Amino acid sequence: MKEQIDTIPVNEAFEDSGECPFCHLERQAEQRAMRYTLGPGASYMEPDVRAVTDRRGFCRQHFKKMYDYGNSLGNALVMQTYFVGLLKELEYQTDTFVMPEKKGFLSKKPVEETDLLKWAREKTATCFLCDKLAYNMNRYYVTFFHMIKDPQFREKVASSKGFCMHHFVQLLEAAREKLPNAQREWFYETVCRLMKENLARVQGDLDWFIDKFDYRNAGADWKNSKDAVSRSMQKLQGGFPADGPYKQN
């Protein structure tokens, strides 16, 4: 079962979770997906993989990461066939384009959306790597809600540093469907406590970081505040702001 395979990384993430175990899992999954997409396995040369990248494309954030990763030829090849499909669709959209009606002089109603706009919006909204990440994160949430039936794992979660706000949202969303009834109370009580305690802890680190700039504190210990800025950013929106680009080899 998929759940069984995933218990190992989820367990590990909660052992050394830092500010958010799901950020840790997400980073692993993203790097794995990058290696799969552009790495030495050259999946982009397989027609069935290319068919998917041609259909889904890549988002701005992932293009940047793909550029930083390296493998210019791999990047070029992936985009080459994407362009073919894009231009064909654009030709169809422009050939069948119906110009929107003129906006009435006093009308507050916005001009109706054209098919061209809908199509263009959709083309820029999908991403092969985002799809892979969403698929993996969903599996991790399924695994998490399976694992919390185990008291030992519950203990691990209870003593973790909580979650970033981004994954807190995802976790609450996943809970609506996947949370076992028997763990309902434990889950909401624990997660709420973890979020309160740990957001306050990071806020404290940030306060001390700022206080350290006061000349009276110049000689004082940094305590846990040296990386308070990147950890605060992570707590607020997820990810690892201090990470350098992930590169091939």
Site of interaction with Zn ion (CB under 5 A): 20, 22-23, 59, 62, 127, 129-130, 164, 167, 238
Rounded CA gap, 151 and 13, in Å? 17
- Nearer to Zn ion among residue 4 and residue 44 (C-beta): 44
CB-hemisphere CA count at 13 Å for 7?
10
CB-hemisphere CA count at 13 Å for 198?
25
- Nearer to Zn ion among residue 27 and residue 50 (C-beta): 27
- Nearer to Zn ion among residue 142 and residue 164 (C-beta): 164
- Decide: 166 and 238 in contact? Cβ < 8 Å: yes
- Decide: 167 and 22 in contact? Cβ < 8 Å: yes
- Nearer to Zn ion among residue 11 and residue 93 (C-beta): 11
Distance of closest approach, residue 206 Cβ to Zn ion, in angstroms: 17
Go through the chain and tell me how many residues it has. 249
Distance of closest approach, residue 13 Cβ to Zn ion, in angstroms: 10
Rounded CA gap, 97 and 4, in Å? 51
Distance of closest approach, residue 44 Cβ to Zn ion, in angstroms: 16
Distance of closest approach, residue 163 Cβ to Zn ion, in angstroms: 6
Q: Is 12 exposed, middle or buried (0-12, 13-18, 19+ CB in 10 A)?
A: middle
Distance of closest approach, residue 20 Cβ to Zn ion, in angstroms: 3
- Nearer to Zn ion among residue 50 and residue 212 (C-beta): 50
